[in-house]
Amino acid sequence: MLTAAAGLDDRVDGLELGADDYHGKPFAFRELVARVRALGRRAPSAPQIVRRGDLTVDRARHRASRGIHTLSLTRKEFAILELLLAADGRVVSAEEMLEHAWDANLDPFSNIVSVAVARLRRKLGEPPLIETVVGKGYRL
């Protein structure tokens, strides 16, 4: 909850009504982004181990494997893979990947997403799992 009502009773009421977090105005944008990311990491309904075909991703242990091969993924590659798995076949834009895996100060016109996706594809091996949807993004 982001609100101008920032008194103690307001905060308690908001949290008791079901808010996951309560943040009063004025606020620092960086702190708001950090709070949103922290809430996103909670994701109690997201399973800790996700399987798609022969791909297994253990989110809690930060491990991934394909078939019998353990994948050595960077934090960014793992974040991209997690996002694609969570999308469940939906196209994920490069902008979404930037917001999920990089900080907000990155140049949105860089090719860093396409480079990271290419590295991830190589590590995932054959047959390819990540599809490029031209002009839209990527999907698993």
User: What's the whole-model pTM score?
Assistant: 0.65
Q: Hey, what CATH topology would domain 49-139 get?
A: Arc Repressor Mutant, subunit A (1.10.10)
The per-residue pLDDT for range 106-139, each reduced to its tens digit, is: 676 778 999 999 999 999 999 999 999 999 999 9
Residue 25 has pLDDT above 70, yes or no: yes
> Amino acid letter at 64?
A
Query: Residue 16: helix, strand or coil by DSSP?
Result: helix
Range(s) of the chain covered by CATH 1.10.10.10? 49-139
- Percent of the chain topping pLDDT 70: 92
Alpha-carbon dihedral 70, 129, 119, 114, rounded to 10 degrees = -150
Residue 46 has pLDDT above 80, yes or no: no
